[in-house]
């Protein structure tokens, strides 16, 4: 029963945290010529995760074997963003888009935290009985 | 934990923007500098930013996801200095010309606003990451 107390939110926190790091990198490079903005597609990671549980994993018997990307939440695949308007210096960071994505990730992260906190207080209530 | 990377990434960006603000201040301060020799007159300086991967910053980053910024170098503008005829100026050359620095004040003001905005955004990112991490610490209380 206690294997999966927090459900998906445990992994969700990890991926959202990673996405936040990527978006902070985009914001940091807003003035870097030639920088390509990147992002993590949460839905894609989620579906690859849920399929990954069912699919047979690839056995890595040699150190030279390459693991499939996207099967490990710690290495969720990072993709390049398509800019709405290309800039002359090759930079694809669009401030409003990045800021919106950043605050969205912020809210989603807090939502997952809230779910985990409610689960904890629920279980504490069940244990204490008062 | 990638949320901790936000501090390093945004911190490097704030450092780079500070250098940009410093060069802007230097350019504006020298906007009216004159010299009798066109090769010795002050020229506008601009930093060149470059993305730096987390692995280069010595951070653990399996996905190669987030990246900071560093100032690759500071380049001097190649715009020719402005030549004016001022025979009474003690700095004038033998033909009576002085050369004013090639700083474009309007360009520098725009640069300053851009650096200011980017710095504010980075501070906001750091604050958000800090708030979230504090909430993670107090999880279950």
Interface of A with B in 41-60 (CB under 8 A): none
> Starting at the edge strand that comes first in sequence, how are the strands of the sheet with B34-35 ordered?
B34-35, B97-100, B82-85
For B82-112, how does the pLDDT look when each residue is reduced to its tens digit (9 = 90+)? 999 999 999 999 999 999 999 999 999 999 9
Shortest distance, CA A113 to any CA of chain B (angstroms): 7
> What does the block give as tokens for B12?
């490097």
Among A44-58, A106-120, B15-29, B72-86, where is mean pLDDT lowest?
A44-58
Q: Does residue A24 carry a pLDDT above 50? A: yes
| Unique residue bearing structure tokens 């001022």 | B86
ipTM of the complex: 0.82
pLDDT number for residue B3: 86
**pTM of model > 0.95:** no
Is pLDDT of A10 > 70? yes
Q: Which residues of chain A neighbour B60 with C-beta distances below 8 Å?
A: none
C-alpha distances (whole Å) from B94 to each of A92, A119, B34, B102 are 51, 85, 15, 21
Q: Does A92 touch chain B (CB under 8 A)?
A: no
């Amino acid at each position: 029963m206690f294997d999966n107390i927090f459900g998906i939110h445990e992994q969700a926190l990890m991926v959202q945290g990673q996405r936040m790091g990527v978006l902070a990198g985009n914001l940091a490079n807003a003035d870097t010529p030639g920088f390509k903005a990147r992002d993590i597609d949460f839905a894609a990671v989620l579906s690859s995760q849920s399929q990954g549980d069912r699919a047979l994993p690839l056995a890595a018997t040699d150190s030279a074997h390459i693991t499939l990307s996207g099967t490990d939440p710690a290495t969720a695949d990072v993709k390049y963003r398509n800019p709405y308007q290309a800039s002359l210096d090759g930079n694809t960071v669009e401030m409003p888009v990045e800021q919106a994505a950043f605050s969205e990730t912020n809210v989603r992260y807090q939502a997952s935290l809230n779910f985990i906190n409610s689960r904890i207080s629920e279980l504490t209530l069940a244990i204490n009985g008062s | 934990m990638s949320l901790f990377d936000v501090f390093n990434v945004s911190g490097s960006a704030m450092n780079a923007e500070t250098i940009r603000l410093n060069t802007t201040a230097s350019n504006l301060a020298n906007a009216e500098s004159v010299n009798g020799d066109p090769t010795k007159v002050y020229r506008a300086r601009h930093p060149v930013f470059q993305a730096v991967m987390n692995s280069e910053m010595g951070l653990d980053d399996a996905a190669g996801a987030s990246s900071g910024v560093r100032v690759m170098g500071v380049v001097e503008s190649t715009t020719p200095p402005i030549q004016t005829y001022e025979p009474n100026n003690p700095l004038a050359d033998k033909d009576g010309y002085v050369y004013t620095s090639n700083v474009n004040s309007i360009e520098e003001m725009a640069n300053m606003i851009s650096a200011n905005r980017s710095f504010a955004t980075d501070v906001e990112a750091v604050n958000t990451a800090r708030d979230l991490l504090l909430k993670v610490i107090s999880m279950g209380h």
